[in-house]
Amino acid sequence: MGKGGLTGIREATGKGEATGIREATGKGEATGNGLLNDAEVVAEEIGHIGDDPRMRIALAAIALAIALLSFFVLAGIASSPDSYADTIQALDEKKTAVMGLVAGSTAASAAVSLIPGDAGTPIAEKLVDLSSDFLIVITAIYLEKYLLTTLGFAAFKVLIPLACVLFAVALFISRKKPVRGALERLAAKLVLFGLAIVCVVPVSVGVSGMIESTYEDSVNETLALAEQTTESIEGAVEEETASESPESPLEWIANLPSNVSSSASDALAGLTADAQKALNDFMDALAMMIVTSCVIPILVLVFFLWLVKIILGVDVSTPVHMLRPRTFGRGMR
């Protein structure tokens, strides 16, 4: 066999080995590093966005247009009370219900204090304390009403325009510089945070409305029972006062045992039981109001912040070489 034949065999063999190595390497990478290769492709594709000068100018123009639209148009809509008419109406209805509970607990406290003896004193004092606790709920309702327009103004007048400007500035910074990735991440966080705070109060009011619709009847029953208890206590006290007509000392002494032992004790026990029932109902209503007016808005805000953290948890601007597996030691390949 001549040199030409040997050379042809070597070239064929070399090509075959090279082809086999490439195929084996491709299969190994496809099976062992499939997810890693996908991440590299995504990172490279994102890295190429904005490399074209015309594309950078177009994206910057779009970002600035969104900033102007948010600053001059959306901010006025988001800060107008008319945009939240349904939410404000729901908050006003809740405030009216709480004010009714405050008035009912105050009236019941004044009536219970008229019960002879010291049996009604602890109940009356607790009802007064509940009136103070209901003021906390009213304060939370007013705070939600003020935050509706304030948070909308802050989001569309400050946060979102600022995020758009930062994104536009980042487009003209070299991707090799870390400051570009930092500006892009900050812009995304500002946008998501602004949208989150705008949705906090409407969403919390909607969730609270579903809970309040379930317990609306119980609140009405509490107010009705408090009014009935107040009227019964006042009526009993008036009857007792009217029955104390002037009489001779001998008649008063003769009737004293029967008056105290029978009618007075029974009436006192009944009035105390009604007052205790009214106190328990007011405490249940207060707990429900605290949950719907104070706890749920906080939980909704925490949920949105957690959602923002989940969305921004993956850093897509990480350099591609940092996604590849690293080897340590001289002998390792």
| Ranges 13-17, 233-237, 288-292, 318-322, most confident | 288-292
CA atoms within 13 A on the CB side of 136: 13
Selected residue with higher pLDDT from 312 and 222: 222
The whole-number pLDDT of residue 128 equals: 85
Confidence of residue 288 (pLDDT cuts 50, 70, 90): confident
The whole-number pLDDT of residue 316 equals: 41
Find the mean pLDDT for residues 193-208: 91
The whole-number pLDDT of residue 266 equals: 60
Q: Is the pLDDT of residue 49 over 90?
A: no
For 207-229, how does the pLDDT look when each residue is reduced to its tens digit (9 = 90+)? 988 888 877 777 778 878 778 87
Selected residue with higher pLDDT from 66 and 269: 66
Q: Is the pLDDT of residue 181 over 50?
A: yes
pTM: 0.68
Segment among 60-64, 97-101, 323-327 with least mean pLDDT: 323-327
Q: Is the pLDDT of residue 203 over 90?
A: yes
The whole-number pLDDT of residue 331 equals: 44
Q: Token pair for residue 95?
A: 């405030």
Q: Where are the domains of the chain?
A: 50-239+260-313
Selected residue with higher pLDDT from 99 and 230: 99
Selected residue with higher pLDDT from 9 and 280: 280
The whole-number pLDDT of residue 32 equals: 42
Give the closest residue to 84 by CA, choosing from 191, 213, 203: 203
Q: Is the pLDDT of residue 301 over 70?
A: yes
Over the chain, what is the mean pLDDT? Answer: 76
Segment among 31-35, 92-96, 280-284 with least mean pLDDT: 31-35
Give the integer Cα–Cα distance in Å for 305 and 74. 22
Q: Is the pLDDT of residue 243 over 90?
A: no
Find the mean pLDDT for residues 265-289: 79
Find the mean pLDDT for residues 290-304: 90
For 130-164, how does the pLDDT look when each residue is reduced to its tens digit (9 = 90+)? 888 898 999 999 999 999 999 999 999 999 999 99
Give the closest residue to 308 by CA, choosing from 198, 221, 151, 211: 198
